[in-house]
Amino acid sequence: MNKITFTLNHQPVALELDPSMRLLDVLRDHFKLTGSKEGCGEGECGACSVLVNGRVVNSCCLPLGNVNGQEVVTIEEFAKTKRYQVLKDAFHDEGGSQCGICTPGMIMAAESLLNQNPHPSDEEIRIGLSGNLCRCTGYNMIVKAVHLAAKKGAGLW
Amino acid sequence: MFDKSKSSPKIDHDEKCSGSARYVSDIQIDGMLFAKTVRSPITKGIIRSIAIPALPDGYYIVDHHDILSQNFVKMIYKDWPVFAVDEVNYIGEPIMLVVGPDKAVLETIIANIKIGYEETEPTFGFTKSAVTKGFKKGDVESAFSKAKTIIEETFETGYQEQAYIEPQGMLGYPEGDKITLIGSIQCPYYVKNAVLNCLGYPEDQVRVIQPPVGGAFGGKEEFPSTIACQLATAIAKIKQPIKLIFEREEDMLVTTKRHPSITKMRAALDSDNRVIGLSAEVSIDGGAYIGLSGVVLSRALIAVTGAYTIPNLTANGNVYITNTVPTGAFRGFGAPQMMFAIEMMMNHIPKRLGLDPLEFRLKHLAKQGDLTSTSGLFRDPIIMPKMIDKAIQISDYKQKMEKYAHDATRGIGMSFFLHGCGFTGSGETTIIKAKVKLRKDEHDQVYVLVAAVDMGQGCRTSLHRVVYQTMDLPPQQVTFDYPDTDDVPDSGPTVASRTMMIVGGLLARASLKLKQTWKPGIKQEIIEQYVQPSYVVWDEDKLQGDAYPAYSWGVNVVEVSVCPLTYQVKLEGIWSVYDVGKTIDERIVIGQADGGIAQGVAYGYLEVMEAKQGKLKQKNFTDYIIPTSLDMAPTETVLYDNPFAYGPYGAKGVGELTLVGGAPAVAMAIENAIRRPINRIPATPELIMETLGHE
């Protein structure tokens, strides 16, 4: 079996695993990185969102083989950044997290959005987060949190 | 942004954002096995044969032969088996668990298990009643005999799936003679009591712990007891840690949902066009086993007059048993179906008589001193007129009504509603007997010991606030950990909008006692037990008297646009005004308001789940559509204080109230746009097309 090599949270890794394995299972079972959650297992809910080369991706739909040579960042690593601090505080102040199962994924989606568009409009935020389901908040408090993060974190993105 | 004086920092925010909060599926125990459920593929039949392949070492089958005491899931009735014995009654009914170390091997074993069935004739629809309830108020016969006008309509509602983002799951392990279960649950003591009944263990040999719960909405009220009994039976047999996590598809196909319903209403009006009598016949589909459906029916029947006073009433209903997945608790618990029916009825009557609907509905609103549907008393002030004025003002309701009279693509609707807070009837005193405990250690740290579960609604933050605020302590001097039945008393299940009003009320009283008897540097413990306000008198058999100690009230306004080509409905704006007694924590109440109305509105126009011959047609988020950020409209919510004497600081219930008015508001908005009556939800483009096509 060929080794699959990629960077995970800025560290090079080489794995001899079945390339058809879901990246989500590799992260959760092999690396014990359980911040990426499984909500649906078919790319609808976004609870398993990770960043691949800075863009948000559903890790439940990504075969391990496809990340060969790519840069994967999970919430555990992103949580060490200033951008995360700003997002976390904004989610707190606006009440953007309730049960929390969608929150790490939602924060990854917000990071991906702000990375591409540091000053998104309401509509752009709603489009940017539309791949991440939340059943608790009705989204408005999350949309407000992303606005607040964009404002408070101006210059970070 | 929320005012810091009105909103406390959310206790579990950081761990939930960083992903370090450990939900049940994140918890690993050395040597842990996995379990997978073998389920019935048929709607109804007799099990004639079971052939199990040779099992590899370390793999086990657990079924009804392994039940140590009782093979039913203890709820209210004894009809729901833990494992099927010789018959199955719905697609997905559990027959056995396969347990072992490798999930892929479990799949192979399951694929090779051969079960022979003799299929028998299933039952569907509203034909086989298992529970009948009803009550009367006033003299409904004479109201109908002297009526000037009688109007009759029928209202239908579909299934709704809770769609918590974290699927159901549990893990457990043995410790000597004791079994500990950690699960995604709402009610630690429901789980514990169900397992005690199933295993026949003494009380101290079952322990239930709640980890962070990724949403529940009623879906984790009674259903987790079924998983718990199966898993505990497996642990008792195999004596190793075992984890059982549902995949989404399994979760959606086999867990309880909101009851589909049909409600027939007949209204008698006098010569002043006042409703003097109402007769309601409510039918709900309970699925294969009764579960909690009887109490869902009670709440539904009691809610049948909504926010209105109708002097003469007869309300009757049935739970029908069908060979489909059992239905059960879901935020609102029978009330959303009724709020839809009565609100549409009260909107349709004036339209049919050529009267102004708003004026007609306002004149029927319940007032302080009126008799409730069950001839109890609305004792506390009702501030609905003020709330309605506010809702009209912030939504621009009247101007929009006028404007949209000439626009078939836009509509606005407004619902009035109430929600009875806490358990229906005498449940709180006869069944629950809630108890809370505060413990102070020798370092003067105070521990909140209750079985109330934070499943996202934020009760760890808001109940914590009640305690430190009442005791005048800095927040960090009060600790509120996740419930563990070995440590916390049974403060009741986390359901029925009772957590703040009942558990919070008890905690406020305990806090005051601890404050008054405070001895620095000395261990202290305060236990407080629930006592029903003495004015609450309830006859459970006749469903007469005060069904609830208090009521929360609400007004929802929803504005929509309806595409003239595709009949696609888009939400344009949502405005709400609530009376929840007293807001303990603003951020948390607004969070409930926003999330509740999203579920309520989506129930009315978006969320479709249908069963065909006992088989659900939707099984994942791909085909069961819940709102995304693009579907929701901005919300504006106003909270009014109207303190309830027995609630902590005057607080009443919040959680369910925010859902029950959403469906009628959006349905009224749609009918306002298309100018045709809506009698069925969800009001999908197909239904709108059908409605328009009838003319």
- Report the SS3 class of residue B538: strand
Pairing of β B275-287 and β B615-616: unpaired
Q: Quick check: ipTM above 0.90?
A: yes
On chain B, the residues whose CB falls within 8 A of the CB of A129 are 628-629
Q: Are B685 and B616 a contacting pair, CB within 8 Å?
A: no
Angle between helices B188-199 and B223-238 (to 10 degrees): 50
On chain B, the residues whose CB falls within 8 A of the CB of A84 are 17-18
For residue B394, the surrounding DSSP H or E stretch is helix B384-395
On chain B, the residues whose CB falls within 8 A of the CB of A138 are 594-599, 627, 632, 635
Q: What angle do CA B521, B514, B439 make, to 5 degrees?
A: 65
For residue A7, the surrounding DSSP H or E stretch is strand A4-8
The nearest alpha carbon in chain A to B632 belongs to A138
Q: What is the pLDDT of residue B87?
A: 98
Selected from 3.90.1150.10, 1.10.150.120, 3.40.50.300, 3.30.530.20, the CATH number assigned to the domain covering A81-152 reads 1.10.150.120
pLDDT digit string, tens, across residues B91-112: 999 999 999 999 999 999 999 9
CATH architecture observed for domain B24-121+167-254: Alpha-Beta Complex (3.90)
pLDDT digit string, tens, across residues A75-112: 999 999 999 999 999 999 999 999 999 999 999 999 99
- How far apart are the C-alpha atoms of B220 and B216, rounded to whole Å? 5
* Residue B466 pLDDT grade (very low, low, confident, very high; cuts 50, 70, 90): very high
**B695 pLDDT above the threshold of 60:** no
The alpha carbon of residue B635 is apart from the nearest alpha carbon of chain A, in Å, by 7
Interface probe with B: pick from A24, A42, A89, A140, most Cβ of B within 10 Å: A140
**B431 pLDDT above the threshold of 90:** no
Chain-centre distance for alpha carbon B441 = 37
- How far apart are the C-alpha atoms of B501 and B492, rounded to whole Å? 12
Fold adopted by B261-424+542-693: Aldehyde Oxidoreductase; domain 4 (3.30.365)
Inspect the interface and report whether the beta carbons of A100 and B630 lie closer than 8 Å. no
Q: Where are the domains of chain B?
A: 24-121+167-254, 261-424+542-693, 427-529
Over residues B329-333, the mean pLDDT reads: 98
* Residue B446 pLDDT grade (very low, low, confident, very high; cuts 50, 70, 90): very high
One-letter amino acid at B508 equals A
Over residues B185-208, the mean pLDDT reads: 98
The B residues from 368 to 427 touching A (CB cutoff 8 Å) are none
The alpha carbon of residue B558 is apart from the nearest alpha carbon of chain A, in Å, by 14
- How far apart are the C-alpha atoms of B566 and B569, rounded to whole Å? 9
Selected from 3.40.50.300, 3.90.650.10, 3.40.1360.10, 3.30.365.10, the CATH number assigned to the domain covering B427-529 reads 3.30.365.10
B594 at the A interface (CB within 8 A)? yes
- How far apart are the C-alpha atoms of B491 and B478, rounded to whole Å? 18
Inspect the interface and report whether the beta carbons of A135 and B597 lie closer than 8 Å. no
Give the DSSP letter string of B119-133.
E-----STT-EEEEE
B622 at the A interface (CB within 8 A)? yes
Nearest-by-Cβ selection for A92 from B13, B15, B215: B13
Nearest-by-Cβ selection for B25 from A38, A75, A135: A38
Interface probe with A: pick from B17, B161, B620, B626, most Cβ of A within 10 Å: B17
- How far apart are the C-alpha atoms of A100 and A87, rounded to whole Å? 14
Question: Domain spanning A4-77: which superfamily?
Answer: Beta-grasp domain (3.10.20.30)
Query: One fold for both B261-424+542-693 and B427-529?
Result: yes
pLDDT digit string, tens, across residues B597-650: 999 999 999 999 999 999 999 999 999 999 999 999 999 999 999 999 999 999
Inspect the interface and report whether the beta carbons of A140 and B635 lie closer than 8 Å. yes
- Report the SS3 class of residue B60: strand
Please give the mean pLDDT across all residues of chain B.
97
- Report the SS3 class of residue B238: helix
Q: Where are the domains of chain A?
A: 4-77, 81-152
Residue by residue, pLDDT tens for chain A (157 residues) are: 689 999 999 999 999 999 999 999 999 999 999 999 999 999 999 999 999 999 999 999 999 999 999 999 999 999 999 999 999 999 999 999 999 999 999 999 999 999 999 999 999 999 999 999 999 999 999 999 999 999 999 999 9
Share of chain B above pLDDT 70, in %: 100
Q: What is the pLDDT of residue B1?
A: 73
* Residue B121 pLDDT grade (very low, low, confident, very high; cuts 50, 70, 90): very high
- How far apart are the C-alpha atoms of B124 and B513, rounded to whole Å? 55
B1 at the A interface (CB within 8 A)? yes
Site of tokens 């999330």: B595
* Residue B566 phi, psi (nearest 5): -105, -10
0.80 exceeded by the pTM?
yes
* Residue B694 pLDDT grade (very low, low, confident, very high; cuts 50, 70, 90): low
Inspect the interface and report whether the beta carbons of B19 and A74 lie closer than 8 Å. yes
Q: What is the pLDDT of residue A1?
A: 63
Inspect the interface and report whether the beta carbons of B1 and A93 lie closer than 8 Å. yes
Chain-centre distance for alpha carbon B180 = 27
A72 at the B interface (CB within 8 A)? no
Share of chain B above pLDDT 90, in %: 97
The Cβ of residue B349 has, within 10 Å, a number of other Cβ atoms equal to: 22
On chain B, the residues whose CB falls within 8 A of the CB of A143 are 629
Contacts of B526 (CB under 8 A, 6+ apart): B437, B438, B510, B513, B514, B517
